[in-house]
Amino acid sequence: MSKRLGKKTRTTNLGYNERHAKSGISSPLPDIETFPNQYKGYEITIEIPEYTAICPKTNLPDFGTITLHYMPDKECLELKALKMYIHAYRNLGIFYENAVNRILQDIVKACRPVWAKVTGTFTARGGLSSKIEARYP
């Protein structure tokens, strides 16, 4: 354990700590705008192949593809606003796992879908690649 500002913080052998783990979770990002849905019972898939963010531990860039799959209820995601939202991650320090869950949380908040799934497929680093999925509800 390391001691910081009078609080104990868990640190791993690799030097990761609570600050790294929480990085980017509550950072301000642009709003995701919506428009009124006119139909029911259909699915939308949006693929975003240009996702980038910064690893909060190494400060190296992370690259990947974010795929959104959802069934709209009363609102649909507006694509230009979604693109601006995703591009805001470019300078944000955030782990893959947190980014995928944060994107899902923000999409649900914006359009209240019937259901949604966000998948992040990230470029291999050090011979390992990651695929993260988060679902609502």
Q: What is the pLDDT of residues 72-120, one digit of tens each?
A: 999 999 999 999 999 999 999 999 999 999 999 999 999 999 999 999 9
SS3 105: helix
Catalytic residue selected from 62, 73, 76, 106 = 62
**62 carries an active-site annotation:** yes
pLDDT at 116: 98
**55 carries an active-site annotation:** yes
Give, in order, the Cα–Cα distances in Å from 54 to each of 9, 24, 37, 64, 87. 22, 10, 34, 12, 12
Catalytic residue selected from 31, 55, 76, 106 = 55
**Cα(23)–Cα(29) distance, integer angstroms:** 13
All domains of the chain, ordered by start, with CATH? Answer: 28-136 (3.30.1130.10)
